[in-house]
Amino acid sequence: MKPLEITKGVYSVGVIDWNVRDFHGYSTYLGTTYNAFLILDDKVTLIDTVKKGFEDELLYNISQIIDPKKIDYVVSNHTEMDHSGGLPRVMHKIGEDKPIFCSKMGQKNLSKHFRQDLNFQPVDNLGELSIGKRTLTFLETRMVHWPDSMFTYLNEEKILFSSDGFGQHFATLERFDDQVDEGELMYQAKKYYANILLLYSPLILKLIQKVKELGLEIEMICPDHGVFWRKDPGKIIEAYQEWAEQKPKRKAVVIYDTMWHSTHTMAEKIVAALGAEGVKAKPMHLRSCHRSEIITEVLDSGAVLVGSPTLNNGLFPTVSDFLTYMKGLKPKNKVVAAFGSYGWSGEAVKLINREFEAMGLEVVDEGLRVQYVPDEDALEACVALAKRVAEALPPE
């Protein structure tokens, strides 16, 4: 990825990782970018670095604009290693005595990550730093999505460098929202939110409110992953507001795995019955769909139904894996139900309900168990379950 001047004197100098396919269990089938930004002013400032192994490309990009040794300041918005892994190498190149501005928690975390005596300079929330003709303002965004996270706002150009906020795992040579397919972009942003930030929705609502109260004018949002929002930065902010509120829609996702197709048959009958009740419904087979794609559908679904056969007196492994993943993200405002087939013991439905209760979700009823292959009565019971779920959802 060549360096690009995104506004006068401000450059994108990050790198593309075309080949990464997994991020902590999140499928990154489009790859990702590690974005970093260079500001030319009286104090040349680098905002964020890159994942370890991509330092040479970052330094080469910088060298197309200025000798890296002329960098005066570095800002580290986030400690996570996909942004800070290249920091020691970069500092060795530009001068290890130069200041690294970070949050107070960032100073602690970076010190523990690298065990090096670097010149960390912790900043206050809403603290400012003059770099010459321009001023940076630091906005603490604790737990969005790590305790050290912060945004950096370039006052004069009204650019928000938003670290992991508003990002997407989306590798592309195009750098701006108006240069890529809007549907694909919004899906990747939604997927990013669902899999990384959903857990922190209450904090994100407070952050959005804080930004509004501060009256920050934002003409461009530059996250550390994916493309930059310049056409309409308010659109992604509004999307975050909606996703964080988690208002239930008349939509259901039916998540399942199956051994001999009995649970599969139940899932498809439930989906068809939900559709007949005016519910937008989608089946998702756990060995055909990645967990991160499924959670993206869960994000704005008002209902979540999970089906599992009973295996060894317990849940099918893929179902157990998904429920663990979902529980960690703490979705809210869902009605839920369990179903599944069994041979002789049939514990799966009970175990799914136990997980739902641990998540604090509203269980529609005790769930539906079918022994062996579903007959006509069992299929009618699937229809009845779908109707109970549909009744619990808000009207269109």
Q: Which domain-ending residue is among 245, 262, 295? A: 245
CATH number for 284: 3.40.50.360
Q: How confident is the model at residue 290 (pLDDT cuts 50, 70, 90)?
A: very high
pLDDT in tens, 341-350: 999 999 999 9
Per the structure, how many domains does the chain have?
2
If asked whether residues 33 and 159 sit together in one domain, one would say yes
Query: What confidence score (pLDDT) does residue 31 get?
Result: 96
If asked whether residues 195 and 295 sit together in one domain, one would say no
Cα-to-chain-centroid distance, residue 373: 39
Q: Which of 77-81, 181-185, 233-237 has the lowest mean pLDDT?
A: 77-81
How many other C-beta atoms can be found within 10 angstroms of the C-beta atom of residue 18? 12
Q: How confident is the model at residue 373 (pLDDT cuts 50, 70, 90)?
A: very high
Domain-located, residue 259: yes
Q: Label the pairing between strands 120-123 and 100-103.
A: parallel
Q: What is the mean pLDDT of residues 5-14?
A: 97
Q: How confident is the model at residue 84 (pLDDT cuts 50, 70, 90)?
A: confident
CA distances from residue 207 to 139, 141, 151, 214 in whole angstroms, order as listed: 10, 7, 11, 10
If asked whether residues 96 and 37 sit together in one domain, one would say yes
Q: Please say if the pLDDT value at position 365 is more than 90.
A: no
Q: Which among 153, 164, 238, 216 is positioned nearest to 195, based on CA atoms?
A: 164
Cα-to-chain-centroid distance, residue 174: 21
Q: How confident is the model at residue 303 (pLDDT cuts 50, 70, 90)?
A: very high
Residue 254 bridge partners (DSSP): 283, 305
Query: What confidence score (pLDDT) does residue 36 get?
Result: 98
Domain-located, residue 219: yes
Q: What is the mean pLDDT of residues 196-225?
A: 94
268 Cβ contact partners less than 8 Å away, ≥ 6 residues apart? 283
Q: How confident is the model at residue 145 (pLDDT cuts 50, 70, 90)?
A: confident
Query: What confidence score (pLDDT) does residue 115 get?
Result: 73
Q: Which domain-ending residue is among 245, 264, 293? A: 245
Q: Which domain-ending residue is among 189, 213, 245? A: 245
If asked whether residues 124 and 206 sit together in one domain, one would say yes
Better-predicted residue by pLDDT, 212 or 55: 55
If asked whether residues 111 and 68 sit together in one domain, one would say yes
Q: What is the mean pLDDT of residues 117-139?
A: 95
Domain-located, residue 73: yes
Q: Please say if the pLDDT value at position 1 is more than 80.
A: no
Q: Using an 8 Å Cβ cutoff, are 74 and 89 in contact?
A: no
If asked whether residues 163 and 266 sit together in one domain, one would say no
Query: What confidence score (pLDDT) does residue 325 get?
Result: 97
Q: Please say if the pLDDT value at position 108 is more than 80.
A: yes
- Tell me how far apart the alpha carbons of residues 262 and 132 are, in angstroms, rounded to a whole number: 68
Rg (CA), the chain: 24
Q: How confident is the model at residue 85 (pLDDT cuts 50, 70, 90)?
A: confident
Q: Label the pairing between strands 26-27 and 22-23.
A: antiparallel
If asked whether residues 230 and 286 sit together in one domain, one would say no
Q: Using an 8 Å Cβ cutoff, are 161 and 6 in contact?
A: no
Query: What confidence score (pLDDT) does residue 244 get?
Result: 97
Mean pLDDT of the chain: 95
pLDDT in tens, 152-197: 999 999 999 999 999 999 999 999 999 999 999 999 999 999 999 9
If asked whether residues 183 and 290 sit together in one domain, one would say no
Task: Specify the pTM.
Answer: 0.95
Q: Kindly list the catalytic residues.
A: 24, 78, 80, 82, 145, 164, 192, 225
If asked whether residues 259 and 241 sit together in one domain, one would say no
Q: Label the pairing between strands 303-307 and 310-311.
A: unpaired
Residue 150 corresponds to which tokens in the numbers above? 């912060």
138 Cβ contact partners less than 8 Å away, ≥ 6 residues apart? 101, 103, 123, 124, 125, 126, 127, 128, 129, 150, 151, 152, 153
Three-state secondary structure of 383-395: HHHHHHHHHHCCC
Q: Please say if the pLDDT value at position 298 is more than 90.
A: yes
- Tell me how far apart the alpha carbons of residues 169 and 20 are, in angstroms, rounded to a whole number: 10
Q: Which domain holds residue 371?
A: 252-390
If asked whether residues 260 and 221 sit together in one domain, one would say no
CATH number for 218: 3.60.15.10
If asked whether residues 308 and 339 sit together in one domain, one would say yes
